[in-house]
Amino acid sequence: METVRTVADLRAAVKGWRQEGHSIGLVPTMGALHPGHMALVKASLEATTRTIATIFVNPKQFGPAEDLDSYPRHEAADSELLAAAGVDLLFAPSVPEMYGDDFATGVHIDGLGDIFEGSARPGFFDGVATVVAKLLCQAAADSAFFGEKDYQQLLVIRRMAQDLNIPTAIEGVPTVREADGLAMSSRNAYLTAAERATAPMLFKVIADIATRLAAGGGAADLSQEGLGRLIDAGFTCVDYLAVVDGETLAPATRGRPARVLVAARLGQARLIDNVAA
Ligand code: PAF
């Protein structure tokens, strides 16, 4: 697996593959890879003949009080994992390569980008949409793969690609979970042993809500009860726990695909998860 660090080198590799008739998949990441990322890689390897993974800890999607400096960075280990999995090219640009001093453009997604994660983390989706728009334009891949773990992010990226006429297909890949149900995330590393034991309650609560909705339970009552269960379990704050429409994230209506979304804080960690309902 070759590693390139400039957009020019990325484009040269893509141009060569296009001339050879390959289809190209893109797996954008911020590194600190875990099996959830490797599921994205596997999906790309199965769907296309050349796979590009990217590692870029994108400063534009971190708020001033967030963990940009301490975000885990393990490029050498990540690179070994990607090569062993069969990735063809790693694109790992520097911050100046992605954002020159005179960088002046931002992408904002009205509505979908302003609720839930968008209101809990102001500027987050602008940063995600801006960097993903750049990566999609740089790589000009046929398909790009994103985890359903960050469900709102997946919808925001789909909306952005559609609105900007970026012809890369945006593919969602199911969440990969630990044996006890905790969704895999690079930020799980922030959990203490005691918090790690409590963390699977997040998935248990939303999975239980999904089951009881299917049995005819009411969304508002179930969400309220679930919130109480999380606080009782030791979560310090629940940013949101909501049953929403699976496409628009508006309040769910019977007969349409729905999603249960949650974000809650446990010690220093902020965990998010979701399930279909
Ligand atoms: O989900 C992530 O890891 C990041 O938000 C992404 C999509 C790579 C953009 O930086």
Tell which atom from ligand 1 comes closest to the C-alpha of 29: 8
Residue with CA closest to ligand 1 atom 6: 29
2-173: CATH topology is Rossmann fold (3.40.50)
Per-residue pLDDT tens, the chain, 277 aa: give them.
999 999 999 999 999 999 999 999 999 999 999 999 999 999 999 999 999 999 999 999 999 999 999 999 999 999 999 999 999 999 999 999 999 999 999 999 999 999 999 999 999 999 999 999 999 999 999 999 999 999 999 999 999 999 999 999 999 999 999 999 999 999 899 999 999 999 999 999 999 999 999 999 999 999 999 999 999 999 999 999 999 999 999 999 999 999 999 999 999 999 999 999 9
**Which residue among 34, 37, 74, 108 is the active-site one?**
37
Residue with CA closest to ligand 1 atom 2: 29
Q: Does the annotation count 37 as an active-site position?
A: yes
Pick the CATH number of 186-272 from 3.30.1300.10, 3.40.190.10, 3.30.70.141, 3.40.50.300: 3.30.1300.10
3-state secondary structure the chain: CEEECCHHHHHHHHHHHHHCCCCEEEEEECCCCCHHHHHHHHHHHHHCCEEEEEECCCHHHCCCCCCCCCCCCCHHHHHHHHHHHCCCEEECCCHHHHCCCCCCCCCCCCCCCCCCHHHHCCCHHHHHHHHHHHHHHHHCCCEEEEEHHHHHHHHHHHHHHHHCCCCCEEEEECCCECCCCCECCHHHHHCCHHHHHHCCHHHHHHHHHHHHHHCCCCHHHHHHHHHHHHHHHCCCEEEEEEEEECCCCCECCCCCCEEEEEEEEECCEEEEEEEEC
Residue with CA closest to ligand 1 atom 3: 29
The reply to whether the predicted model has a pTM over 0.95 is yes
- Give the distance (Å) from ligand 1 centre to CA of residue 45: 19
Within the chain, all domains assigned CATH 3.40.50.620 are found at 2-173
Best residue for ligand 1 mutational test, from 26, 61, 135, 170 (most atoms within 8 Å of Cβ)? 61
pLDDT at 256 (0 to 100)? 95
